[in-house]
Amino acid sequence: MARSVTIGNGNLLVGLDARGQVRDMYYPYVGEANHVSGASGNFVHRIGVFVDGEISWLDDPGWRVTSGLEEDSCLGSVFAEHAKLGIAISTRDVVHNEHDVFLRHFTIHNQREETRTIKLFLSQQFRIYESRRGDTGFYDPRVNAIIHYKGDMTILVNAVSGKQSFQEYNIGLFGIEGKEGTYLDAVDGVLEQNPIEHGSVDSVLGLSFTISGHASNDAHYWVVCGSSIAEVHTMDQLVLSEGPDRLIGSTAGYWHAWLDKEETDLSLLPAELQTLYRRSLMVMRVHTDNRGGIIASSDTDMLHHGRDTYSYVWPRDAAMIAHAFDRTGYRDVSVRFFKLMADLLDPSGYLMHKYRADGVLGSSWHPWIINGEAHLPIQEDETATVLFMLWEHFERYRDIELVESLYNTFIEPAAEFMCEYIESLTGLPQASFDLWEEKYGTSTYTAASVYGGLMAAAKFANLLGKDDASRIYQAVAQRMQTAIGEVLYDKEAGVFVKHVLHTSDGELEYDRTVDSSSLYGLLLFRVFEVDDPRVTKMFEVVKERLEVTGNSKGFVRYEGDRYYRRQEAGSPNPWVICTLWIARYHIEKAQSLKDLKYPLELLEWTASHATTGGVLAEQMHPDTREQLSTAPLVWSHAEFVLAVQAYIEKVAELKDQK
């Protein structure tokens, strides 16, 4: 189930599903580790109501649930109604902007005429550090709260109604020894109040209300994360003394102020595009760790269909997101990212496949040996893209001290590596894995990114008076530009090929699959102008072969793409980023305001595929429009922001020409 709401503060990230249930809780790094739905299983924090002698959890089909974000604020909002029970529940959910506390304000409404006794049960299933062994959960009478801990990870859970603390609790086992979960103890409306358990531990607490007919009662619930019991005690006391609603209100105020920093005039856009733009900014920030890492997604559902998640820092994806932050004025966020990349750069001058948010090398399937020969298991476009976007950052902010501090640690070694990692015969980059992480060779997209990275390095070197280095970088880049136009362009087909690879006998083997990235890479990294006849012809082929003809008329990655393709689907799945690349092509090419009609339609297409909470997936079913793979995909949100920026700037440019 895709995440309907993701909220966080750069240390703590919480993901809620469409039923308002907690599915992800990352701490102390965004994306590492997930103490709910980590590698060991797909767990959930349930919300239940006991009334008229029966228990009903919000994942029961009788509940009609809507969830999303409050307007212009990173506050979750859930409304659930059960007509048969005559009960409605609404929530306001935040992660405090300063303190590592997840807070929920529940309002329980009695929709019947008679006064009723209603119990709210809140269940927690933690797998601290994603392991089912060695957790401890206990009721702490000193603070009237439940505490789960293992090692230096401590989680405190508390709830009150008015000044009354929760009346019931139970702590038990789940997922081992035949135990499904302690939440089942709530079936009869009474919890057994076992005070401690260890192993694979869960807990449940209960609040009781007497609610008059057509009246409501409020309750507050919070989860505090810290490194010790003493630390979470202190934070729990702060919540009680400040008051949960005051903390929720101050967080709402922070996010309003954060959004107000972005001064783009969105007034010419339809309301749904304005809303998605602002929500995209918040999705991007929530998935950015305060120490610089930007993860691809926090959604762990795909873990249960494959071997891993997207909760890693891919330098390429993160560089695109950092670029979107730069374009919208959030310089501090992108600076932390660039500094992290400099710290992670291999001494030889390249970035690896992906990293955890704490800077540790991430999992990978790229081998170090191919056909019996040693090769670097990298995607070279990742190194090149970070360097290219660093120049884009400098052009906007002119922060020469940042550039000077990164020249010796990142810019120069990355540029030297790219100059050396080149095929002597073609002038193209040596083989590496493509941006889709599937094909080994020299892709058009990777070659374009290396060209862009080297041109950026030449400008940096020139800026700092390193004339010899600047000339070398520029010369290598220009040779590569020529090679892209000659070696990678198939004149007969009118396309830039997906990739080439040297065979064992030294011949070039071509993969002529039409790939949307082969078009966009040339424009993004400014290899050729948008009106270059080769680019124009490439677009015509892309539109003919990669546009979906089903209900979702977006664009697929490349011909024959099988990733997450459903057997019954009439075509590969359209991707948000690929569709927005086509929008960017049309925006750049536009000569009049009427030329912007189609890219605006693609922006509206994107918004139409977002959830009610403004979440964009990676891809969707071409016929049913169902979100597929991971949601949110932060890169999708960043590309939407960048496309909107490009659209607005183009409108202004064309109006000025009149």
pLDDT in tens, 578-625: 999 999 999 999 999 999 999 999 999 999 999 888 999 999 998 888
Assigned domain for 483 exists: no
Do 98 and 213 fall within a single domain? yes
Q: How far apart are the first and last CA of the chain?
A: 49
Per-residue three-class SS string for 443-469: EHHHHHHHHHHHHHHHHHHHHCCCHHH
Assigned domain for 67 exists: yes
> What pTM, to 2 d.p., does this model score?
0.96
Assigned domain for 640 exists: yes
User: What's residue 3's pLDDT?
Assistant: 84
Do 10 and 123 fall within a single domain? yes
Query: Domain boundary at 215, 235, 255, which?
Result: 235
**What is the overall mean pLDDT for the chain?**
94
Task: Summarize the confidence of residues 56-64 as an average pLDDT.
Answer: 96
Q: pLDDT tens for residues 411-452?
A: 999 999 999 999 988 999 999 999 999 999 999 999 999 999
Task: Summarize the confidence of residues 102-129 as an average pLDDT.
Answer: 96
Do 20 and 119 fall within a single domain? yes
Assigned domain for 250 exists: no
Assigned domain for 260 exists: no
Assigned domain for 78 exists: yes
Assigned domain for 604 exists: yes
Measure CA 70 to chain center: 19
Do 63 and 194 fall within a single domain? yes
Reading the block at residue 641, the tokens are 């922001």
Do 178 and 271 fall within a single domain? no
User: What's residue 38's pLDDT?
Assistant: 56
Do 221 and 149 fall within a single domain? yes
Task: Work out the percent of the chain whose per-residue pLDDT is above 70.
Answer: 98
Do 282 and 227 fall within a single domain? no
Q: pLDDT tens for residues 593-606?
A: 999 999 999 999 99
Strands 153-161 and 164-165 turn out to be antiparallel
Q: List the one residue out of 556, 579, 573 whose CA is nearest residue 643.
A: 579
pLDDT class of 304 with cuts at 50, 70, 90: very low
Do 178 and 281 fall within a single domain? no
Do 173 and 92 fall within a single domain? yes
Assigned domain for 466 exists: no
Domain span at residue 275? 267-288+547-658
Task: Summarize the confidence of residues 150-162 as an average pLDDT.
Answer: 96
Do 125 and 225 fall within a single domain? yes
Do 157 and 20 fall within a single domain? yes
Do 76 and 144 fall within a single domain? yes
3 state DSSP class of 66: strand
3 state DSSP class of 46: coil
Class of residue 83 by CB neighbours under 10 A (exposed 0-12, middle 13-18, buried 19+): exposed
Is the bond preceding 347 in cis, omega lying within 30 degrees of 0?
no
User: What's residue 41's pLDDT?
Assistant: 56
Per-residue three-class SS string for 201-245: EEEEEEEEEEECCCCEEEEEEEEEEECCHHHHHHHHHHHHHHCHH
The CATH number of the domain holding residue 151 is 2.70.98.10
Task: Summarize the confidence of residues 381-405 as an average pLDDT.
Answer: 98
Q: In terms of pLDDT, which residue wins out, 285 or 424?
A: 285
Residue 22 has phi, psi (to 5 degrees) of: -70, 130
How many domains does the chain divide into? 2
pLDDT class of 637 with cuts at 50, 70, 90: very high
Task: Work out the percent of the chain whose per-residue pLDDT is above 90.
Answer: 87
Task: Summarize the confidence of residues 385-402 as an average pLDDT.
Answer: 98
Asked whether the predicted pLDDT for residue 540 surpasses 90, the reply is yes
